[in-house]
């Protein structure tokens, strides 16, 4: 018999804030974290806005000694460390000195390497001869050489966030990182849950981190026509399920959860926030950047998670949608929900917090699962903002524009990633 897995701590760094409670209130209030991009000069790009993490300083989250040891981390690794530190404290583990660190590990959904895109882009842009339309290799070498002095080779590896967090907390158990795009942190949490269920660890820090707000990231998504170009109204640009949606809004951040085996958490007197009861993971085996038109992968992942959880369809009180705001994703996710829930689908409240946070890519699923935990705690559902024009192909209950008090005991959270990755988690109030 598999062991039960509970959540005892949460933490996030998002475009809406750096702490648990005020960020959650901004979500419930429907506030937007989207604004003109400031990380780099985006004025000449098709999309000039994003959902940036503002005023972030890693020194606020680490001791002086810890910061000195980790100060060279990349932007997204810094987000991950801060979110993990918040979650560790939220779980009360900062006051417990006797957990077996060989039975504690980390499983992250981290961004792709090389991580130092900013300096890479700087070298490419400054080395380009715009008149001759060729690369000035001498200038490129000068700029690249200066950049390389600022970052170590190890920091280019995508597993560095996991490595720094393991070092920060002295975790000697399993350490993994997965790069399944927008599904990464949901998959990481699901796999970490399995590791605890089957006895490979007692405690896991799990979640995700990402920062792609840089020239290469924006250019790539623009070329895929995936980003919204609503430059005249950034705060209303992310509009999942709305008929006028024109793409997602690129965001950044990190979300971390402390997962524990139930008796381990109870033995140390931990406050249990929720229980992870179901996980499903599938691949579309279709086009790399498109969801299968029949929604077969999403349907299979949701069915697998619900069966794993051992709950009835009518037991699902809320769905945290992937809900990117792209034309294809939203209509196919709607089709997937209908494919699973059938005639009951219109009765299940659904929302996408990407309408406020933007799309945090590898960190999205973890942050969205945290909103499920807080929804269960407070018995209130977050809204889908900017939903103004109903789409006949998206005809379910998307909790438009205002939070909703509700009885919430069991939630389902979806994440679908480029490459055809589909991951679903089911989480419920602890009984």
Active site residues: 182, 322, 359
Tell me the C-alpha distance between 324 and 283, whole Å: 18
The residues with which 205 forms a beta bridge, in sequence order, are 106, 258
Sequence-distant (≥ 6) Cβ neighbours of residue 381 within 8 angstroms: 318, 349, 351, 375, 399, 403, 404, 405, 406, 408
Q: How many residues does the chain have?
A: 431
- Give the containing element (helix H, strand E) for 105: strand 104-109
CA dist., res. 241 & res. 405, Å (int): 21
Residue closest to 174 by CA, chosen among 149, 153, 199: 199
> Using an 8 Å Cβ cutoff, are 110 and 362 in contact?
yes
- Rounded Cα distance between 377 and 372, Å, is 9
Provide the pairing of β-strand 421-428 with 274-283: antiparallel
Tokens of residue 354, six digits:
């990407």
What is each CA distance from 222 to 216, 228, 229, in whole angstroms? 10, 8, 9
Long-range interactions of 231-234: CB distance < 8 A, separation 24+: 231/47, 231/48, 231/49, 234/32, 234/34, 234/35, 234/36, 234/48, 234/49
């Amino acid at each position: 018999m598999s062991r039960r897995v509970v959540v005892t701590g949460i933490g996030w760094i998002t475009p809406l804030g750096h702490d648990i409670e005020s960020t959650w209130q901004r979500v419930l209030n429907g506030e937007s974290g989207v604004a003109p991009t400031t990380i780099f000069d985006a004025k000449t790009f098709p999309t000039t806005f994003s959902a940036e993490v503002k005023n972030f300083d890693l020194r606020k989250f680490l001791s002086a000694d810890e910061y000195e040891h980790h100060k060279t981390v990349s932007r997204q690794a810094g987000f991950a460390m801060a979110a993990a530190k918040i979650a560790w404290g939220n779980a009360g583990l900062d006051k417990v000195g006797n957990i077996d660190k060989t039975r504690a590990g980390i499983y992250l959904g981290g961004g792709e390497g090389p991580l130092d895109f900013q300096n890479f882009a700087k070298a490419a842009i400054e080395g380009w001869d715009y008149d001759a339309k060729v690369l000035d290799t001498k200038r490129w070498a000068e700029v690249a050489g200066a950049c390389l002095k600022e970052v170590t080779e190890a920091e280019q590896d995508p597993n560095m966030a996991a490595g720094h967090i393991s070092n920060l907390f002295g975790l000697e158990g399993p350490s993994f990182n997965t790069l399944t795009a927008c599904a990464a942190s949901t998959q990481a949490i699901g796999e970490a849950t399995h590791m605890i269920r089957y006895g490979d660890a007692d405690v896991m820090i799990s979640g995700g981190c990402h920062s792609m707000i840089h020239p290469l990231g924006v250019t790539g998504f623009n070329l895929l026509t995936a980003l919204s170009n609503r430059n005249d109204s950034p705060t209303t640009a992310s509009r999942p399920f709305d008929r006028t949606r024109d793409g997602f809004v690129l965001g950044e951040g990190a979300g971390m959860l402390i997962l524990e085996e139930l008796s381990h958490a109870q033995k140390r007197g931990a406050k249990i926030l929720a229980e992870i009861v179901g996980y499903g993971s599938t691949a579309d085996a279709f086009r790399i950047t498109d969801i299968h038109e029949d929604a077969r992968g999403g349907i299979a992942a949701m069915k697998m998670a619900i069966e794993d959880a051992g709950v009835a369809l009518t037991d699902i009180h809320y769905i945290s949608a992937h809900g990117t705001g792209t034309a294809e994703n939203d209509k196919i996710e709607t089709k997937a929900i209908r494919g699973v829930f059938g005639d009951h689908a219109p009765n299940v409240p659904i929302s996408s917090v990407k309408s406020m946070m933007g799309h945090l890519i590898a960190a999205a699923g973890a942050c969205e699962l945290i909103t499920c935990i807080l929804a269960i705690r407070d018995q209130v559902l977050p809204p889908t903002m900017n939903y103004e024009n109903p789409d006949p192909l998206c005809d379910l209950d998307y909790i438009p524009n205002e939070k909703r008090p509700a009885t919430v005991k069991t939630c389902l959270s979806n994440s679908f990633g480029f490459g055809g990755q589909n991951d679903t988690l089911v989480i419920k109030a602890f009984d």
